């Protein structure tokens, strides 16, 4: 199949691209490189430096490539920026996604996989773990934009665009940007390996659900091929509440450090607790996580340790 992956130079997108290439698919990547890196794109994939808000440039890609499947990972993912610049967040996450929907319909794309956020769209949970039937009440502009796109997809249901929505827990693993606002595992890993004390926002009791990037890739491959996934939303997570303090301690253990965290004020728009029930993905997609949190942390720290060693050798 010919598959177009947006955000294919970022964190999760390149892992998906690698897996698709390995399976023998013809892969096209669209990324504006505002957050991604060109060197992370598989050499066998064709790359277009395009902002998904640029309708004309995006249309040229669709006309040239005629993809059968679109895997949409590109997004403005900075929660704090979404609160200070909601119009920018909406321009990328809503308008950019609508450009893709319209072009997918015009080019008779067979399948559209949209990446949403479990932690952001549900808001503060009424019960745990949160399943797909839980009420949605986003507490950030980022969560609202993701949920809005979900609603647009449902509005298009019956128009011929076969879609599946994946609501991720906190994804972590190799290649995540340790200098960004999100990605606490990458941030803690790089800081502790450098002998720096990481900052925990809040008192350390805030919880999230985490899932290793390799398991997320597996969910994407299944969503693209399973017929019963049509028009469905799936939570993708471990189904385990993990506190910020626990993440700190797991990373510290993997690094072999003795550092203590710096505590700072909780950031606006963040929920206190979340944990996703992914049993529907197991039942309908045949997906379940294969990598434990402890193993995933060890792999991630090993990746950044290796990066640091290669950087030291090159200098």
Which active-site residues does the annotation give? 142
Helix pair angle (184-193, 244-255), 10° resolution? 40
The number of beta carbons lying within 10 Å of the beta carbon of residue 194 is 11
Q: What string of DSSP letters covers 99-168?
A: HHHHHHHHTT-SEEEEEEEHHHHH-S-SSSSB-TTS----SSHHHHHHHHHHHHHHHTTTTT--EEEEEE
Residue with tokens 């728009």: 269
User: What SS3 class is residue 286?
Assistant: coil
Report yes or no: 163 and 112 within 8 Å, Cβ to Cβ. yes
Q: How far apart are CA 94 and CA 138, in angstroms?
A: 15
Task: Give me the phi and psi of 211, to 5 degrees please.
Answer: -145, 135
Query: Which residues are within 8 A (CB) of 99 and not within 5 positions of it... i.e. 6 or more apart?
Result: 52, 53, 55, 58
Residue with tokens 């990605």: 183
């Amino acid at each position: 199949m010919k598959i177009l992956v947006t955000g294919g130079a970022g964190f999760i997108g390149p892992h998906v691209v690698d897996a698709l290439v390995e399976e023998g698919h013809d892969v096209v990547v669209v990324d504006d490189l505002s957050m991604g890196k060109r060197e992370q794109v598989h050499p066998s994939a064709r790359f277009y430096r395009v902002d998904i808000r640029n309708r004309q440039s995006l249309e040229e890609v669709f006309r040239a490539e005629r993809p059968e499947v679109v895997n949409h990972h590109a997004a403005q993912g900075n929660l704090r920026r979404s609160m200070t610049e909601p119009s920018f967040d909406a321009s990328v996450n809503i308008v950019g996604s609508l450009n893709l929907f319209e072009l997918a319909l015009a080019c008779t794309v067979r399948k559209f996989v949209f990446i949403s956020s479990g932690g952001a769209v549900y808001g503060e949970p009424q019960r745990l773990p949160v399943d797909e039937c839980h009420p949605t009440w986003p507490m950030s502009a980022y969560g609202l934009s993701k949920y809005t796109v979900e609603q647009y997809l449902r509005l298009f249901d019956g128009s011929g665009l076969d879609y599946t929505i994946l609501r991720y827990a906190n994804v972590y693993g190799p290649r995540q940007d340790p200098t960004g606002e999100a990605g606490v595992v990458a941030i803690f890993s790089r800081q502790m390996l450098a002998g720096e004390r990481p900052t925990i926002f809040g008192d350390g009791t805030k919880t999230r659900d985490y899932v290793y990037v390799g398991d997320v890739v597996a969910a994407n491959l299944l969503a693209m091929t399973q017929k019963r996934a049509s028009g469905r939303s799936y939570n993708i997570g471990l189904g385990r509440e993990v506190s910020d303090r626990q993440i700190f301690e797991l990373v510290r253990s993997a690094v072999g450090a003795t550092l203590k965290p710096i505590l700072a004020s909780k950031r606006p728009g963040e929920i206190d607790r979340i944990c996703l029930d992914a049993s529907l993905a197991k039942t309908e997609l045949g997906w379940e996580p294969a990598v434990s949190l402890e193993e995933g942390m060890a792999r991630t720290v090993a990746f950044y340790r290796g990066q640091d060693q290669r950087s030291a050798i090159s200098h």
